[in-house]
Amino acid sequence: MRSWTAAAACTLALLGCASTAPPPPPPGPDARLIAALRATVPANPIPVGDDPYLAWAGREPPPPPPGSVCALRLEPDRVHYRLESFASEAEARETGYRVTHTGRCGACSTLQDLAVYLERPDLTTPVRKCGIMTASNRLACLRSLGFSEACARIWSFNTENTRKECFGVCVRSWMSDEPSTRPDGSLNACLQCDEDRSGPVFKAVAGRTRRNSGIRSSIPRPEEQVAHVTHDYFAPGP
């Protein structure tokens, strides 16, 4: 019989609880781009304080306005940059900013966190390993994946909330070897629980997700759910 520890580890994986092997990830990103992203420093990072799931208990944060974007502008030294939310891509470009994802800016909107998402299209295994740890060790583990401090914090809070809200349904998904998606393309029960119970707060606080950054993950998603974003911050021009 599988141990409850193993089952708990599965439920903590925010990106999937299936034992079925995920589809192969897309080709890796340009190593030079990853290095350039990691070498930058945000001038105005967005911090994460206390657990936002407690602050929003029983409620959902309002979604970002349609058409809104998070954009950035490199400083003259080409190392530091500023993040700003705009009502539209056109407004961002008019002020010399480049879109980095759709929706408002948040804790994971930094280029450091973008580098993690680009380099790790399948975060299931590493996040699962972090998720079974104690709170302090979990945070350190998430930081070791490359996340910024603030982004690691919201990931940690998100993982804990999914464990609290979805433990039972995720154990059943895991025990039955349920694949990530059903034949009709819908998410399995565990992933849907995470999407419904943890997703709204995570998206509001994190800002950046893989889908709104135009990045595909190991979980198949409809084309219309993946934004079209070109990460060309180091190209000349506005």
**Concatenated DSSP letters for 210-222?**
TGGGT---SS---
Domain membership of residue 108 as a residue range: 4-18+29-222
Q: Give how many domains the chain has, as a whole number.
A: 1
Compute CA 151 distance to the chain's CA centroid, rounded to the nearest angstrom. Answer: 8
At residue 142, the pLDDT reads: 97
> Is position 229 within any domain?
no
**Separation of alpha carbons 79 and 39, rounded Å:** 7
- Return contacts of 76-80, CB within 8 angstroms, 24+ apart: 78/234, 79/39, 79/40, 79/41, 80/40, 80/41, 80/42, 80/43
- Domain assignment present for 237: no
- Domain-located, residue 144: yes
Upper half-sphere CA count for residue 90 (Cβ side, 13 Å): 1
State residue 221's pLDDT score. 61
> Is 233 a domain residue?
no
| Calpha distance 133→44 (Å, rounded) | 30
pLDDT score recorded for residue 131:
82
Estimate the crossing angle of helix 135-144 against helix 149-175, to 10 degrees: 110
What integer pLDDT is reported at residue 62 of this predicted model? 95
Q: Is 208 helix (H, G, I), strand (E, B) or coil?
A: coil
Q: Is residue 174 part of a domain?
A: yes
pLDDT at 173: 79
3-state helix, strand, coil in the chain (%, to 5): 45, 10, 45
Helices (H) and strands (E) in the chain, counts: 10, 4
Q: Both tokens of residue 72?
A: 């950035």
In a domain? residue 231:
no
CA distance 170 to 16: 9
Residues shown for the chain = 238
Domain assignment present for 234: no
Ranges in the chain, pLDDT < 50: 1-23
> Rounded to the nearest 10 degrees, what angle do helices 149-175 and 111-119 cross at?
30
Asked if the structure places residue 238 within a domain, the reply is no
Whole-prediction pTM: 0.83
